[in-house]
Structure 1
Amino acid sequence: MQRVEITGSAAQAQRRNETAGRIIVGRDELLQYGDGALSGALQRLPGVTVSGNEVRMRGLGNGYTQILVNGDPAPPGFTIDSLSPELVERIEILRNATADTSAQAVAGSINIVLRRATSARNDVKAGVEVRRGQMAPNATLQVAGKEGGFAYTVAATAARNHFDNLSHAETADAGPAGVSRRQFDERYGSTVDKASMAPRFEWKGDGDTLVWQSLFDAYRTRSGGHADETTLLGGATASPHVQVVFASHTETLRSDATWTHRLDNDGKLEAKGGIALNRRHGDYLFTGADTERTPWLLRSVLSSASDDSASASGKASVPLGTGHGFGAGWDGAWTRRGETRVQHDGTPQGVTLFDLDQDYTADVRRLALYAQDEWEPVPGLQVYGGLRWEGLDTSITGRGMAKTGVRSSVWSPVAQALWKDGERMRWRMALARTYKAPQTAELVPRRYTVNNDNGPTAPHVQGNPLLRPELAWGIDGGVEYYPAGQGGGVIGVSAYARRVTDVTVRRLYRDGKEWVATPVNEGKASVSGLEFDMKLPPATWAGMAWTWRANAARNWSKLDSVPGPDNRLADQTPLSANLGADVRPGGAWSMGANFTYKGGGALRRSAELDGVTGAERVLDWYALWKPAAGRQLRISVADALAQRRYVMQRYRDEDSSSLRQTWTRGARILRVSFETALP
């Protein structure tokens, strides 16, 4: 990780001259729209889409996209929406794998670099967010300084957010038990209080650098709501009227220290160690009532989850001559996930209907060794070669089950080439083997139950401790044109293809009268796509300075174990695009807007289960006023269109059919913030 302050030209120079071709998005661009969470800023970046809390590249979520924090895999329990953009220095998008980072990057990697000291400036920002008439405050403080070889940055944020889910669902079921049609109107709301702090301390001596960086995060959620059912045909469900109350709190700590030593021959030694702790506790109460609104079921669930990990790594880099460098290293990590769930079902009169007490522990050990070489055999041609071996050892223990485990290892060769055709053209090619390890939560055989209307379109979900990693071979190619040479602006087109084996799919089955879905390894998949990104240098039009940017991605995939058409892998987003512009009308004002499109369409998950997802359209805009140096007022609107989202799922076999359609209302969000430098 280079310790440099990334400006627009420096970020572009790194993209122009690296074989990996990383796209770097600096702090100013991340903060431009005043997003309350990092996911809002990520959805506007080239080749990136966001679905709920899941960040995707190449349209693939579910673990195919690797999330890195300061170059290391994100700790267990980490969520993008828990991180405020104010705590981030920059985002790096890596479409291709490299040997010195984890090969768990079938779709690519997104590296989140936390805030670091670039000046001695201190500032404070306060703001408010308004969503459906509810106001939520937020505040950010940054303190930074330098003295001799010592530098520090402490960034802290605190915020309250309101979320709600207003949805309408319609179901139609037919089978041996008869025919039914129902409507469900649901309204759920939550209040989230979060506080984060990211301190960073750096000391530089005679050829040595020592950095300590941490991230502390606390998250409190209080939720509640109700769902009401209208029966149009047939009988009602067991609980046509539902009340839900939920409270949870999560605490996360990530801390690591890095020592770097510069050698006399311009080589470098680096050692790093870190820990990550995550604790979550939940208290849930479900009240089910009959058609007369008389409560008959009280379901209380106390749950907890812990994700702890420790990691260490070492790396040596040495020059082998002009334009030639070699590096080798290792990294390892240990992760333990523990889960408990105590469920009690009873009646309001105190009669016990069902009790469940679950306790599971999953341990994952990872060790990797790698070597890489980059050189310039002829002027204008850069070549990179790397080899990484990564081994995984997983074991699961729990109450009422025998100890199970899976051990696997992956060899990941990587080859990249960059041809510099003058100052303005860049041609790229890359080949790599990557993999996708099962997420720890997928391995734990805990059953997550649906409270009401369980069926093939709303099944219970249970983990599988025998899951194996998915393996993928991939090839990438692209060309970039820099219209202004070193002055800024880029137009890039790239293509990719992947062949994935041991694909994880959800197998749907019946356990007595209950429908359950569990992940299993089944078959192969082919993935391919085209990507385009453009950022034009500033230009004057109508007396104002304009900057235009656009990106688009078209993705295809085919899952061999599922009959077509529309048998896409991991609910892949088939099409995404962004179009944005910034303008400076003069004086202290600047403003901009961005339109995001995320395509949907038909999707087949199995021979019996298919569905349709509606396209999403999001319009964001902002206005920024800088009345004086170190002061600025920002006004922004997120999701100005407030479009309603549509999802349909359908199950059909020889004996029955089930259809569920859901419409969810969007929400327009107004944000106002004021920032000032401290004396």
Structure 2
Amino acid sequence: MKLALLLGASIVPLAFAGAVSAQTAAAIEGPTTALEEVVVTGQPQMRNRTDDVVPTLSYDVEYFQRFEPLTAGDALKRVPSVAFLSDVLESDGVRLRGLDPGYTQILINGERVPGAGVDRSFFVDRIPAELIERVEVVRSSSANRSGDAVAGAINIVLRDALSLDGGYVRVGALSWKDSEYGQWGGTFGAVWGGQAGPGRLLLGANVQDRRNPKAKYSQRFSGPNGTLNNTEVQTDVRDGTDYSFNAAYEVDVAGGVLELSGVFVRTDRYQDEDSLEYRSGIETNANLLTVNDNDLDIRTDNLSLRGKYEREMFGGETTFKLGYANIDDQQYEFEGESEYLRDTVVFPDEDRYTLDSTRTDISDEETAWALEHKRDLSNGVELEFGVQGVQKDREIDIAETPRIRFNVPNAPAARPAVPAFGAFAAVPGGLGTIEETRIDPYVMLSGETGALKWEAGLRYETTDTTITDLTAPAASRVTENDYAELLPSASLRISLNETDRIILSAARTVRRPDFNRLSPATLEEEFGDSDFIGNPTLQPEKAWGVDAGFERRLGRRGVVGINAFYRDVSDLVEETNTGRVGSAGAGTFVYTVDNVGDGQVWGLEFDLSTPLDFVGMPSTGVFLNYSWLDSSIEDFIGDRRFNSQSDYVLNLGFTQDIPTWGAAFGATYRKQGDAESRVLAEEVVTTYGADLEVFLEKRIFSNTVLRLTGSNLLDSSKDEVFDKFDNVADQRSRTYAEYELETESAGPVYQLVMRVAF
């Protein structure tokens, strides 16, 4: 009944959209600066039709803003082929075309940024949406960008010094329904841009509360259709605040243009997981197995500083770039567990109490520089060449205290109020450094002749890596790994007429190895009962890729397109058996990884974004994108898809402006297909429920708009099926160690925001 009401609420507005659009569609008068971003413009905001040769989808902030996304991840949920494998209400690691985040290049203002993850990926929920000017989905690669983009690249363009003339303030309240009276939070942001001395200055600040309350429920069986061993009832609340500050300055200097910019983002988050585990699924005190309290305190700082100087010289345009980016991720985790059925005496008498404590401190900084030059050649051909360099320094410190355990048969544990943990000691693979130096020269030609626009280039990427692991045996603590790859790329755009065009692209790209697979430390019982040791000599995965698309303009501002893509990936990093017996004894082994796999990825991507002016409804905008995704890889058992690749991603929605009322409303619906994963000793199938978001907005003064949004209105859930095995032999024979069904769900989030321009 609830689903029917919500779907009805989102469909009813379309029924009278035609009547509304009969009213005058004259745009509200106002300045074309900050006011455009906070008042009702009287017309839908659509996807941009870019002039890029490389297939690129571009979305201005107005495309997302009406739904008031909190982060860049929330905004990206509406663009084609972007999937997430995050918890409900979270959008962190971008899975472009469904592939692991490590296959997607995340750029900030066209430049790489480091992330704290082992797969080198950057969590986009670290960037507040309020900083964004536009988002670009770059489907193929060019010689003047890093080749770490097998799936493609997401370029998050932040506001610069030329973005605004004036400013605005954003004030809002958020509500989460995870208690009887709900939980409340706030959001505040302010941005100003204008003339400052000889140049232009932009300043912005943002503070917003973040909360993600989830309920989880697990059932664990001896096997499919087997005996129910236990159930677990869990609450998982993630509560925190994000702080951000950004600045940009642009000024003419010595015949050129100097651009300086900086962004700082702090994520303060506390995760509280509490669970009760029951024997045989009988959820009474007499069958209470364990009570678990798992708390995680996170503080992550992101800093990015960029400088660019551009001027005419040497017969063309020369650009100097210098940048510094750092991520500092500090976490402290505490877990306490009480056990009650180790003997015949049931709750409340406690049998054993266990305490664990882990500290994580990861710092990853990159210093980047570039020297680039463009010049015109004959017949409209442009030559661009340059060299780009990056120095990465990553420090890893993951340590834990000795486990504290109290065994107290038939009596409560006489544990201290404050646990006296011992000294922290590094976990295997948890203490060391990674130093990586890249120097990447490139050359590129581009031109335009009549209906043809093209570019072609070569990029040569060199990588020198030194890995120091202080937890490994002395003989293997320091290892070096050097490699180089030649990456050609080419793109062609053919304009068939004023409305239709074809875009073709081919490129070679790479994916560098995950950091945790480079460590030579041995991890005991990492895969079921078997151990794992990393391989510091891993080479990058390589891929040849092609994209072929057709795009048509609809009316003045609408766009419809379809794109087919294919990736042939070689030197995949896959687990291999060393043949050595594992630490658990006979029947177990020590596994490592090597470049032994090959795979293919392919799919079709359709997107439509248009106002309905061609049917007499200029104030009604609709968007629809659907991506069908597939892949194939041969692993230790047989054929499968790339791990955790959803088989489709669907987004559809509408916006309806009512210019004479100074109002608008809209809705968006999202559904992501199933994702399957198979690794040593474990297989997972993940299913997501649908997500519905709506907004209502009203201009209350000439410079003020009030907006109400609701997200997760379908109480979306994430459901997972785990097949667990003790070893690979059992996995092949389907001899189960455990079969688990887990579901997590969260309620709706409401946000009331006022934006005031000045």
TM over 0.5: yes
Equivalent of residue 656 in structure 1, options 719, 724, 735: 735
| 2:757 counterpart residue number | 677
Q: Distance in 2 between matches of 1:195 and 1:593?
A: 28
CA spacing shift, 1:430–1:491, aligned 2, 3 Å: same
Select which of 267, 280, 284 maps to 2:333.
284
CA contact (8 A) 1:556 1:574 kept: yes
Is the contact between residue 300 and residue 330 of structure 2 (CA under 8 Å) also seen in structure 1?
A: yes
**Secondary structure at the counterpart of residue 643 of structure 2:** helix
Distance 1:58 1:248, change over 3 A: closer
Partner of 1:365: 437
Q: Provide the rounded CA distance (Å) in 1 between the counterparts of 2:212 and 2:576.
A: 32
1:341 aligns with 2:375: no
* SS class of match (1:569): coil
Deviations 1:83-132 (A, max 9, x none): 11111111111101011000111010010111113232121111111112
For residues 538-587 of structure 1, the C-alpha deviation after alignment (integer angstroms, 9 at most, x for no partner) is 4287977211111110011001225455x111311110111111112341
Counterparts in 2 of 1:405-424, with a 5 A limit? 405-424=480-499
Conservation of the 8 A alpha-carbon contact between 2:446 and 2:455: yes
1:618 to 669, 691, 695: 691
Which of 157, 169, 177 lines up with 2:206 in the alignment? 157
Partners of 2:524 and 2:420 in 1: CA distance: 21
Alpha-carbon shift at residue 351 of structure 1 (Å)? 9.6
Contact 1:374 1:383 in 2 (8 A): yes
- CA spacing shift, 1:318–1:540, aligned 2, 3 Å: closer
Which secondary structure does the structure 1 equivalent of 2:166 belong to? Answer: coil
Matching residue within 277, 302, 306 for 2:363: 306
**Cα shift at 1:444:** 4.3
Q: Which residue of 2 aligns with 1:63?
A: 102
8 A Cα contact 1:563 1:606, kept in partner:
no
* Conserved? CA contact 1:317–1:326, under 8 Å: yes
Matched, 1:103 2:103: no
CA contact (8 A) 1:414 1:431 kept: yes
CA distance in 2, matches of 1:537, 1:352: 62
Q: 1:129 to 1:243 in 2, by over 3 A?
A: same
Alpha carbons of 1:655 and 1:269: their partners in 2 closer, same or farther (altered >3 Å)? Answer: closer
Cα distance change, pair 438–113 in 1 and its aligned pair in 2 (3 A): same
Residues 328 and 372, structure 1, Cα contact 8 Å, conserved in 2: yes
Q: Which has the higher contact order (CA 8 A, sep 6+)?
A: 2
Alpha-carbon distance between aligned partners in 2 of 1:525 and 1:62, rounded to the nearest angstrom:
17
Kindly indicate whether residue 268 of structure 2 is the aligned counterpart of residue 220 of structure 1: yes
Q: Is the 8 A contact 2:133 2:158 kept in 1?
A: yes
Q: Which residue of 2 aligns with 1:27?
A: 61
What one-letter code is carried by the residue in structure 1 that aligns with 2:337?
G
CA deviations on 1:39-73 (whole Å, 9 max, x unpaired) are 11101012222332111221112311110111111
Matched-pair contact (CA < 8 Å) for 2:276–2:288: no
Distance 1:58 1:551 in 2: 13
> Quick one: which amino acid aligns to residue 701 of structure 2?
A
Matched residue of 2:75: which SS? helix
Correspondence for 1:145: 194
User: Please, which moves more after superposition, 470-479 or 245-254?
Assistant: 245-254
The 1:70–1:355 alpha-carbon spacing in structure 2 relative to 1, beyond 3 Å, is: closer
2:115 alignment counterpart? 76
Alignment of 1:252 onto 2:305: no
The answer to whether 1:196 aligns with 2:275 is: no
Are 1:387 and 2:458 counterparts? yes
Identify the residue that residue 125 of structure 1 maps to in structure 2.
Answer: 170
- Please list, as runs of the form range in 1=range in 2, the aligned pairs for 1:428-443 lying within 5 A after superposition: 428-443=503-518
1:222–1:248: 8 Å Cα contact kept in structure 2?
A: yes
Q: Which has the higher strand share?
A: 1
Whether 2:748 is the aligned partner of 1:668: answer yes
After superposition, what is the alpha-carbon deviation per residue over 1:341-383, rounded to whole angstroms, capped at 9, x for unaligned?
A: 231212356898997424211111111110000123x421122
Shift of 1:520: 4.7
Cα 1:422–1:206 shift into 2, 3 Å? farther
CA gap of 1:355–1:89, structure 2 versus 1, over 3 A, is: closer
Q: Return the alpha-carbon distance in structure 1 between the equivalents of residues 420 and 301 of structure 2.
A: 36
Secondary structure at 1:605 match in 2: strand
Per-residue displacement from partner, 1:480-520 (whole Å, max 9, x unpaired)? 11122xx2111101101111012134679964289998765
Q: Is 1:549 aligned to 2:606, yes or no?
A: no
2:136 maps to what in 1?
Answer: 92
- CA distance 1:238–1:624, shift in 2 (3 Å): closer
Is it true that 1:500 corresponds to 2:569 in the alignment? yes
- Which residue does the alignment assign to 1:262? 312
Q: String of CA shifts for 1:598-631, please: whole Å, max 9, x gaps.
A: 0116x35258643322243111111111122221
Q: Distance in 1 between matches of 2:531 and 2:131?
A: 37
CA distance in 2, matches of 1:365, 1:237: 57
CA distance in 2, matches of 1:506, 1:152: 52
SS in structure 2 at match of 1:422: coil
**In the alignment, which residue of structure 1 is the partner of 2:257?**
209
Q: Distance in 2 between matches of 1:553 and 1:334?
A: 36
User: Does the aligned pair in 1 maintain the 2:219–2:281 contact within 8 Å?
Assistant: no
**Letter aligned with residue 527 of structure 1:** V
Q: Is the 8 A contact 2:175 2:751 kept in 1?
A: yes
Whole-angstrom CA distance in 1 between matches of 2:647 and 2:378: 45
Alpha-carbon distance change, 459 to 219 in structure 1, aligned in 2, over 3 angstroms: farther
- Is the 2:277–2:288 Cα contact (8 Å) retained in structure 1? no
Deviations 1:625-663 (A, max 9, x none): 112222111110111101222111214344831312111
**Partner Cα distance (2:287, 2:354) in 1:** 13
1:561 to 611, 632, 635: 635
* Residues 1:311 and 1:29: Cα distance change in structure 2 (over 3 Å): same
1:469 correspondence with 2:527: no
The answer to whether the Cα contact below 8 Å between 1:226 and 1:242 also exists between their aligned partners in 2 is yes
Cα pair distance change 1:517/1:237, threshold 3 Å? farther
Q: Distance in 1 between matches of 2:264 and 2:287?
A: 44
Matched position secondary structure for 1:573: coil
Amino acid at match of 2:749: I
Deviation at 1:216, TM superposition (A): 0.8
Q: 1:10 to 1:661 in 2, by over 3 A?
A: closer
Structure 2 portions without partners, runs of 5+: 1-32, 38-42, 87-91, 117-121, 341-346, 407-414, 725-730
| Mapped contact 1:62–1:570 kept (Cα < 8 A) | no
CA contact (8 A) 1:599 1:616 kept: no
Asked if the contact 2:44/2:621 (under 8 Å) is kept, the reply is no
Report the RMSD for the aligned CA atoms in angstroms.
3.4
Q: 1:233 to 1:636 in 2, by over 3 A?
A: closer
Corresponding residue of 1:628: 701
- Give distance in 2, aligned partners of 1:163 and 1:433: 39
Equivalence for 2:387: 330
Relative to structure 1, is the Cα distance of residues 308 and 449 closer, same or farther in structure 2, using a 3 angstrom cutoff?
Answer: farther
- Aligned with residue 76 of structure 2, among 42, 46, 51: 42
